[in-house]
Amino acid sequence: MSVATKLKPSPKPVSEPRAILGPTGNRVRVSDESKRKTEGLKKPQRRKIPVSESPNSVVQNNVSVDSSCSSDSSSSSASVKTVSSRKTVKRSGVKPVKAKVAPTADEVVVEISPVLSEPSKRCDWITPFSDPLYTSFHDEEWGVPVYDDRKLFELLVFSQALAELSWPTILNKRDIFRKLFDNFEPSSVAQFTEKKLLSLKVNGTLLLSEPKLRALVDNAKQMLKVQQQFGSFSSYCWGFVNHKPITNGFRHSRQVPVKTPKAEVMSKDMMQRGFRCVGPTVVYSFMQVAGIVNDHLVTCFRYQECNANVKKDIKPKIDEIGKLTKVVENTRLSR
């Protein structure tokens, strides 16, 4: 057979109008065309090529259209692509998948991941099940140096009350304590009579036992004497540590003592002055809560914070206490 007999004639004349190629190529458009005919859909518009154009110009136009999707349809190519792809996916029953587009040079991709804030590490005796009031007391008050006489008297009373009550119980009743004991003003509490003491009840029950209440009044009287001798109760208490807090470095709660030699010395001196219910254990609890001793564990976030606060405030307090001490000494010499 000759070569001429093997060649098949062209299915379409060159001058016949041809459909414009879409972004996905002629094959897809032809399949879409057949489907539209089957489903009775509206045929897409075709660009008519004038007959006067030569075959070469027609081929060149088709090549340029295939590569650039034609300048006439460039403005609507995105919409055509979206519509055709949506219809094709819908008919095939496949869920459309959003294409991943790489960011350009002007775009910044930021991945947002949830940040879990870890709770601050506290001393071992504060647990997630602790009373919130007790936790706040640990975070804000316990171990912070105190120099106010009225506040020191309040903390001394609470340290004595630990023999009968726990810290959470005391803190929940703190407002009641302050109301019944005239906001722990020593000059006012020193004037309490036996009758008034026995009337300090809540729901028919005394806040503390009778010996503790009597000791409270006696200690208020002794505080007034200490203020006259040392200028302030604060100067007297801080004098046992040379007016500078003791910072311990305990890592475990089992290492924290219940009393120390310093507490024993202070306890003995207070007893000689007439203070009551001030054993070494009570005195050391008082030193801890008043910030005279920093017994926060080194793993607790408050350990460093209390040290930082001491460095900021200790110098003016030392200067003030030193002046008061000199006044007391001059008074003694003049006598």
Query: Annotated binding site: which residue ranges?
Result: 123, 138, 296, 300
User: 219: which residues sit within 8 A by CB, 6+ positions away?
Assistant: 153, 156, 157, 275, 276, 277, 278
User: 253: which residues sit within 8 A by CB, 6+ positions away?
Assistant: 123, 124, 125, 297
Residues forming the annotated binding site for Zn(2+)?
Answer: 123, 138, 296, 300
Determine the Cα–Cα distance for residues 32 and 334; give it in Å rounded to an integer. 115
Instruction: Compute the Cα dihedral for 55, 60, 61, 66 and give only its sign.
Output: positive
Determine the Cα–Cα distance for residues 44 and 15; give it in Å rounded to an integer. 20
Helix H, strand E, coil C: the string for 61-126 is: HHHHHHHHCCCCCHHHHHHHHHHHHHHHHHHHCCCCCCCCCCCCCCCCCCCCCCCCCCCCCCCCCC
Determine the Cα–Cα distance for residues 63 and 69; give it in Å rounded to an integer. 9
- 265 touches 240 (CB < 8 A): yes
Determine the Cα–Cα distance for residues 54 and 220; give it in Å rounded to an integer. 118
Phi, psi of 247 (to 5 degrees): -110, 110
Look-up: residue for tokens 């640990």? 138
Determine the Cα–Cα distance for residues 186 and 275; give it in Å rounded to an integer. 13
Instruction: Compute the Cα dihedral for 235, 236, 241, 242 and give only its sign.
Output: positive
Determine the Cα–Cα distance for residues 164 and 159; give it in Å rounded to an integer. 10
